[in-house]
Amino acid sequence: MPLFGNSFSPKKTPPRKWASLSNLHLLDRSTREVELGLEYGTPTMNLAGQSLKFENGNWVSESGGFLGDRRELQRLRKRNQQLEEENNLLRLKVDILLDMLSETTAESHLMEKELEELKQHSRRKK
């Protein structure tokens, strides 16, 4: 008898005869949908008293209209377009300013280098 050996050895369980005891897999599709409630329909939700349903990847009002006023939607789209154009213009201006800054910095470094060379040249002459 081993002093530090494994004294516990569980019995092996017998293999199962069937993977599932349920007979639902034997039913046809329509019966399964009725039995299990797999027919959900379109997703719907209610926001601010407006009932919406999900169709073709978009939320649409069940009454057929869009949320809010169409003129308001057009105004918001126009404002969004204006803001995008303004944003693009501002990005362009920032790029131009950065280019100008880098050019000025490079010129400043060149002038400093030339000044140092002139100082060294004048010291040599003395």
- Tokens in use for 80? 């969004």
pTM of the predicted model, to two decimals? 0.43
> For position 13, what pLDDT does the model report?
81
User: Which residues in the chain come in under a pLDDT of 50?
Assistant: none
Reduced to 3 states (helix: H, G, I; strand: E, B; else coil), residue 51 is strand
Q: What is the pLDDT of residue 60?
A: 79
| CA pair distance 73, 81, nearest whole angstrom | 12
Q: What are phi and psi of 45, to 5 degrees?
A: -150, 165
Q: pLDDT tens-digit profile of 28-51?
A: 777 777 777 666 677 788 877 778
What's the chain's Rg over C-alpha atoms?
A: 39
Q: What is the pLDDT of residue 84?
A: 97
Assess contact for 66 and 73: CB atoms under 8 A.
yes
The closest alpha carbon to 60, from 71, 72, 47, belongs to 47
- Alpha-carbon distance of 83 to 90, in angstroms, equals 10
Residue 9 DSSP label = -
Please give the Cα distance from 81 to 52 (Å, whole number): 27
- Alpha-carbon distances of 30 from 23, 34, 39, rounded to whole Å: 15, 6, 9
